[in-house]
Structure 1
Amino acid sequence: MTTRHLRLFGLHLAWLRKQRGWSQETLSLESGLARSYLSGIEGGKRNLALINICTLAETLAVPPSEMLDFARHDASELQVEQPPMPYGNRQQAAIEATVRHMAELNEPELNLVAAVARALAGKGSFRPPVSYVKPGARAAASDIES
């Protein structure tokens, strides 16, 4: 594979991604591949393994052969996306990816995630009671606030 082929593959990947209205960040979250890696692929600077071609094809809902059909584009009309601005649309993309991935979890895994979320939500806001009475024990009259 020549540098020209890497460039054409990258431009074709960018075209497929943009057909779905996705940013590199969204494709990164959906595929599990690093955004910097995807940027290198789209820029024609990274060679990628077959497993990653298949991962991208599955993520983009196209057959793997479609990923290699990059010769049909005129390279002059394809543009590589510039890196996103900090804090762009990443939060919404992260939320959407999290919801999709959580849908694949089984019940014990969901319970674990929920427990962690509850623990994090309460972090810093937990205020232990001034006095603690064991469950089932009777409180003394002086322990009861009026």
Structure 2
Amino acid sequence: MSAVVEKHVARADRPAKTIRTELVDIEDYMPIGRRLRDMVTWHHDRNLIEGSDDKTQFAKLIQEVGELSDNLCKGKDIRDDVGDIVVVLVNLCARNRISFLSCLDQAWNDIKDRQGIMYEGVFIKSTDTRYAELVAARK
């Protein structure tokens, strides 16, 4: 069994809260609001809000997602890629006068009660007609 598989198998036997604590401490999230504010200011200072448009920023987002894909496939560090994607998303929010947090809240409210399982690399929602059959097959 590969190290990656062993790591995931070991995690499966522990509560989600334990796993979450190992991944990121809550203190790591505290400065996010300040960083988002800094990003909006950075965009304004460089005329990337009024001087750009949504289409251009969307193209930039796709470029950054492509870089993330490339580095994932190559097993390289993805922190800069994820950060660049967030920077462009913050720009799109600022351009459209919506809060980044409100977008996160909306996405969270959409998924927080969602039930499902991973099957062959795809998340199958509990509302999918195959869900019960797939759950039964796992046992």
TM-score, structure 1 normalization:
0.23
Task: Select the structure that is richer in helix.
Answer: 2
Q: Which has the larger radius of gyration?
A: 1
TM-score normalised by the chain length of structure 2? 0.24
Please identify which structure carries the higher strand content: 2
